[in-house]
Chains A and B, each alone.
Chain A
Amino acid sequence: MAFVALLSITFSCSPSDDQPAIPVNELTGLSKIQELSNDTHTVELYAPSATLQQGYNAVSLRIKNTATGQYEKNADITLVPSMHMAMMTHGCPVSAVTKSVGKDALYEGNIIFQMAQNETEYWELRVDYTIAGESYTAAGQIDVPAATRQRVTSFTGTDGVRYIIALIDPNTPRVASNDMTVGLYKMDSMMSFPIVDGYAIKIDPRMTGMGNHGSPNNTDLIQSAAGQLYHGKLSLTMTGYWKINLQLLNTEGTVLKGEPVTTDHPESSLYLETEF
Chain B
Amino acid sequence: MVNGRKRVSAFTFIPTIMRYLLYAVMLVFPVGWLVAQEQATDSLKSNELAEIIVIGRKSPLYQKQDKPLMSVEDYLLQSGKVEMVKRGGYSWEALINNMASERTVTTIDGMRIFGACTDKMDPVTSYVEVSNLSEACITSGAQGNCHGSAIGGSLDLKRNRGNFVAKGWSAALNTGFDTNASQRIIGTAIDYADKRFYTDTDFMWRKADNYSAGNNREIAFSQFGKFNVSATSGVSLLKNKIVEASVIYDKATNVGYPALPMDVSLAEALITSLKFEYRPKTKMISDWETKIYFNTITHRMDDTKRPAVPIHMDMPGWSKTYGFYSKLKNDLGNHHLTFDFNSFYNAALANMTMYPADPSESLMFMDTWPDVRTRYAAMFIEDSFTPNCHSSIKFSVNLANHFNKVESTLGLESLQIFFPEMKDSKNRVLKNIAARYAYDLNGFEYQFGLAFSERAPSVSEGYGFYLFNSFDRYDYIGNPDLKNEKSLQLNAAVGRKTKKAAIKWSAAYFRISDYIIASPDASLIPMTIGASGVKRTTALHYASMVNSELNIQYELSEHFKWKGLLVYNFGEDANGENLPFVSPLRYSSSLTYKKNKFNGDFGVEGNLAQTQFSPTYGEDKTPAYAILNASCGQSFGSEKCIYHLRVGAENILDVYYSTFSDWNNIPRQGRNVFINLTFNYR
Contacts and interface: CB of A to CB of B under 8 A. Distances in A.
Interface in A140-183: 174-177
A217 B420 CA distance: 9
Given A210-B354, A240-B354, A177 B361 contact: no
B410 A241 contact: no
A210 B356 contact: yes
A5 to B, nearest CB: 54
Interface residues of A, number: 21
B413 A239 contact: no
Contacts of A217: 417-418, 420
B526 interface: yes
Contact of A239 (B358, B362, B523, B529): B362
A181 to B, nearest CB: 18
Contacts of A276: 362
A176 B530 CA distance: 24
B413 A175 contact: yes
Contact of A209 (B311, B352, B417, B524): B311
B29 interface: no
Interface in B319-372: 352, 354, 356-358, 361-367
A213 B366 CA distance: 14
A207 interface: yes
A217 B414 CA distance: 12
A238 interface: yes
A275 B417 CA distance: 18
Contacts of A210: 311, 354, 356, 364, 527, 529
Contacts of A245: none
Interface residues of B, number: 31
B410 A175 contact: yes
Interface string A225-249: 0000000000101111100000000
Contacts of A133: none
Nearest to B530: A211
Given A209-B311, A239-B363, A240-B354, A176 B416 contact: yes
A215 interface: yes
B466 interface: yes
B151 to A, nearest CB: 31
A214 interface: yes
A209 B366 contact: no
Given A214-B525, A240-B362, A209 B413 contact: no
Nearest to A241: B361
A69 interface: no
A275 B362 contact: yes
Contacts of B366: 175, 237-239
A211 B417 contact: no
Interface string A257-276: 00000000000000000011
Given A175-B366, A210-B356, A276-B362, A237 B528 contact: no
B310 interface: yes
Contacts, number: 85
A15 interface: no
Interface in A80-105: none
Contacts of A213: 525-527
A214 B420 CA distance: 18
A22 B69 CA distance: 81
A237 B414 contact: yes
Interface in B205-239: none
Interface in B451-483: 465-466
Contacts of A240: 354, 356, 361-365
A253 interface: no
| Interface of chain A: mostly helix, strand, loop or mixed | loop
B528 A216 contact: no
B417 A215 contact: yes
Contacts of B364: 207, 209-210, 238-240
Nearest to B534: A216
Contacts of B528: 211
A109 to B, nearest CB: 31
A241 B358 CA distance: 10
Nearest to A235: B417
B466 A237 contact: yes
Interface string A42-55: 00000000000000
A237 B417 contact: yes
A238 to B, nearest CB: 4
B465 to A, nearest CB: 8
A145 to B, nearest CB: 17
Nearest to A207: B364
Interface in B513-544: 523-530
Interface string B398-422: 0000000000001001101110100
A241 B526 CA distance: 17
Nearest to B366: A238
A207 B352 CA distance: 15
Contacts of B310: 211
A214 B352 CA distance: 17
Contact of A237 (B361, B363, B527): B527
Contacts of A209: 311, 354, 356-358, 361, 364
A222 B311 CA distance: 36
Nearest to A236: B417
A174 B418 CA distance: 15
Interface centre among A210, A214, A238, A276 (most CB of B within 10 A): A238
A241 B365 contact: no
A211 B310 CA distance: 9
B354 to A, nearest CB: 6
B420 A177 contact: yes
B365 A239 contact: yes
A215 B534 CA distance: 11
A275 B363 CA distance: 10
Nearest to B354: A210
Nearest to B521: A216
A176 B417 contact: yes
A177 B417 CA distance: 5
Nearest to B416: A177
Contacts of B410: 174-176
A180 B640 CA distance: 79
Interface in B418-464: 418, 420
B527 A216 contact: no
Contacts of A237: 366, 414, 417, 465-466, 527
A213 B358 CA distance: 17
Given A211-B528, A211-B530, A240-B354, A216 B361 contact: no
B335 to A, nearest CB: 56
A146 to B, nearest CB: 15
Interface string A194-230: 0000000000000101110111110000000000000
Given A211-B529, A238-B364, 13 more contacts: A175-B367, A177-B416, A177-B417, A209-B354, A210-B354, A216-B523, A237-B414, A237-B466, A238-B352, A238-B414, A238-B527, A239-B363, A240-B364
17 contacts: A175-B365, A176-B417, A177-B417, A207-B364, A209-B354, A210-B311, A211-B311, A213-B526, A216-B417, A216-B524, A238-B352, A238-B365, A240-B354, A240-B363, A240-B364, A241-B361, A276-B362
